[in-house]
Structure 1
Amino acid sequence: MPEPTPPSPKRRGRLFRFGAALVVLCALAGYLVVQYVTGGTRTPACKVVATGNDRTSYRFTPEQAVNAATITAVGTGRGVSERAVAIALATALQESGLRNLEHGDRDSLGLFQQRPSQGWGTDKQIMDPSYAAGMFYDHLVKVRDYERLPLTVAAQRVQRSGYPEAYAKHEPDATLLAAALTGRSAATLTCQGRPPAGVAAAARATGAEAVRAALVRDFGPRDTLEEAGAEVGGSKRPAPAPTVTARAKGRTVTVPVPEGARTDAAGRTALERGWQLAHWAVANSSALHIQRVSYAGREWSAGSTDSRWRPVAPQGAAGAERAAGSVRIVTGQ
């Protein structure tokens, strides 16, 4: 029996080129998938870390940060516990990756993939993150002993998902986010704070008024802003319509956080409420072009290489007051 003829050098060359091209195509496909999931390598990153010796961390995108901060603000505004916020965040991580999706299974929409046909609201309402979060909490608090249930069980009793065990894998990340965004874990959330590349400055929501409008959107006019008053551009006025005064080095929004022993409906102290506002501002830094956030003697600055909260020494009586009892947000010009 004759031996098979080995492939000619020319044929081997064609096979090699074909294989190389296949590898390149697979690599390109993988790269595109990663870009879609993460929002791109140039997307400014956010990070939350655990406190103490446990340096567990979770990295996420500015889009996810804004949505997580909104979900948390809606929850604390309703007086729910940190556990309830963690359940909501884990649910949104599973259902939408904390993105406000305009599509889903059948008619599912938004952060929680709620369905208009099942009575969750209109398409427009569900696509409003504040409304969607409120609807989730409305249903969650009706679940008996939800705070004592396993997270996946509590989430499933609201969502009625076809994959009820899927929520559990997001519990560690959601717990980290909830601790930071409710303010219990101080100075643990940072973002790069740079607006996404290719977005024109005119298309961004910027300035102190945009920050203040976003605060009212998430926390509501009857929460911290209206009760304590808001200082915008160095002029103290009651909410809801303060005048913005531009400063030479940017625009400033200052939200007082009254000190004292009084706790809110969720049992949080004034210091924790202040850190919630500070972390909220950092989470919204890319969207609102926020450059600096200061609270309780610590400051975060956009664009720093490590994005840490650094200690700052108060300058004079005004600086001491800001360090102790207010969150100071400085936006770009």
Structure 2
Amino acid sequence: MALVAEAGSPVPPPADDSPPRRPVRRALKYVVAIGSVCAVATVGVVVGLNRLTDAGPVTERCTAELDGSDWYLSPDQADNAALVAGTAVARGLPARAATIGLATALQESKLINIDYGDRDSVGLFQQRPSQGWGSVEEILDPVYSTNAFYDVLVKVEGYEDMAVTDAAQTVQRSGYPDAYAQHEMRSRAWASALTGNSPGVLSCELGPVADGDQVAPDAARDVIAGRLGRDLGLAPATGAADPNRQDPASSTVTVDATPLTPDDPERGAWATGQWAVATAQATQVVEVHVADRVWLRDEAAWVQAESRLGRGEVRITADAAE
């Protein structure tokens, strides 16, 4: 039966038989809890980036500059870019080949050696075993897959004069033939640096090597020497020109890059030096000396060196346990 109020009398509010507003309070608790978690996570990220230094947060990235523009890659991408471009130099191919190789790998895998892809595609260049590129194990070896790519590219008549996307598509036969073009400028910048045509333009911002990751000096030299041989086909100097060859406490490797570019030792030195910077995260390199310049990990920059190295000579120093 409905209540009817007398004229001029207020209608009394209906009795509230609902339970106390606990859901609202509970929701507020959830919001506060979630906010606290996010705050802790944010603090954790900042602390992690600080790497326990007083230099402020470290955004780990690598940069290649070309015509006033900076083109960035992550340290992992830079490491693979060093292999792709270094292989082109070691094979005596022009910088254009390196640009095409880098643009292809950026499009296919974002320059990361992944073990999955469309259908049976794997690796840096997303090559397919079913299409005759090799076994899965072979293709997942970045050295194998990079050489396999160049083996086909060099058979493309006039590839040096073709548009980057056309040359890449001729090799890859992708369902997206124009997609490689978007990576051309970034690839040109990195190819120019890693082939030594643009000296002193490649740098990496990296945190310090953690104490627990440091290895003995001889082991540090072995890591650098192994990568020099794998990526560039170079070996550390073993003659008297290497002042560190008999010093077991030294984590420095001296290399003569002249065999890389016999007609232009200085270009070979810069190709090797900037390769050393691009791979510094994996090799724990902290200093790279080329000509009258030295790259310092702490400063993430090339600065004037106190002494000048000879033509074609590169000196690479890793952080190592004392």
Q: Secondary structure at the match of 1:214?
A: helix
- Residue by residue over 1:47-92, the C-alpha shift from the partner in whole angstroms, topping out at 9 and shown as x without a partner, is 334356x2x0111111111111111111112221111110000000
Is 1:311 aligned to residue 304 of structure 2? yes
Q: Which residue of 2 aligns with 1:332?
A: 319
Deviation at residue 153 of structure 1 after TM alignment: 0.9
**Gap change, CA 1:199 and 1:69, over 3 Å in 2:** farther
**Gap change, CA 1:295 and 1:156, over 3 Å in 2:** same
- Residue by residue over 1:140-162, the C-alpha shift from the partner in whole angstroms, topping out at 9 and shown as x without a partner, is 11112111111111111111111
Is 1:168 aligned to residue 181 of structure 2? yes
Contact 2:209 2:284 in 1 (8 A): no
Is 1:288 aligned to residue 294 of structure 2? no
Contact 2:258 2:264 in 1 (8 A): no
Q: Which residue of 2 aligns with 1:231?
A: 237
Contact 2:62 2:278 in 1 (8 A): no
Deviation at residue 209 of structure 1 after TM alignment: 1.3
Corresponding letter in the other structure for 1:163: Y
Task: Name the Cα RMSD after superposition.
Answer: 3.6
**Gap change, CA 1:144 and 1:193, over 3 Å in 2:** same
Aligned length: 287
Contact 2:65 2:202 in 1 (8 A): no
Is 1:149 aligned to residue 144 of structure 2? no
- Residue 61 (structure 2) aligned to one of 21, 46, 58: 46
Deviation at residue 194 of structure 1 after TM alignment: 3.5
Deviation at residue 324 of structure 1 after TM alignment: 4.2
**Gap change, CA 1:61 and 1:177, over 3 Å in 2:** same
Deviation at residue 137 of structure 1 after TM alignment: 0.6
Q: Secondary structure at the match of 1:292?
A: strand
Corresponding letter in the other structure for 2:146: A
Deviation at residue 115 of structure 1 after TM alignment: 0.8
Q: Which residue of 2 aligns with 1:240?
A: none
Contact 1:194 1:285 in 2 (8 A): no
Unaligned runs of 5+ in 1: 1-8, 238-242, 315-319
Q: TM-score, normalised to structure 2's length? A: 0.76
Separation in 2, partners of 1:143, 1:218:
24
Contact 1:294 1:323 in 2 (8 A): no
Unaligned runs of 5+ in 2: 1-20, 52-57
- Please, which moves more after superposition, 40-49 or 74-83? 40-49
Corresponding letter in the other structure for 2:194: L
Is 1:276 aligned to residue 276 of structure 2? no
Deviation at residue 257 of structure 1 after TM alignment: 4.0
- Residue by residue over 1:95-146, the C-alpha shift from the partner in whole angstroms, topping out at 9 and shown as x without a partner, is 0111000111111111000111111111111111111111101111111211
**Gap change, CA 1:160 and 1:329, over 3 Å in 2:** same
- Residue by residue over 1:1-55, the C-alpha shift from the partner in whole angstroms, topping out at 9 and shown as x without a partner, is xxxxxxxx99999999999999999x99xx9xxx9xxxx9788633334356x2x
Q: Which residue of 1 aligns with 2:222?
A: 209
**Gap change, CA 1:16 and 1:148, over 3 Å in 2:** farther
**Gap change, CA 1:139 and 1:44, over 3 Å in 2:** farther
Deviation at residue 255 of structure 1 after TM alignment: 0.9
Separation in 1, partners of 2:172, 2:36:
41
Q: TM-score, normalised to structure 1's length? A: 0.73
Separation in 1, partners of 2:183, 2:151:
21
Q: Which residue of 2 aligns with 1:254?
A: 254
Contact 2:286 2:318 in 1 (8 A): yes
Separation in 2, partners of 1:19, 1:91:
46
Deviation at residue 313 of structure 1 after TM alignment: 2.3
Corresponding letter in the other structure for 1:327: V
- Residue 139 (structure 1) aligned to one of 152, 155, 176: 152
Q: Secondary structure at the match of 1:164?
A: coil
Q: Secondary structure at the match of 2:178?
A: helix
Separation in 1, partners of 2:129, 2:313:
41
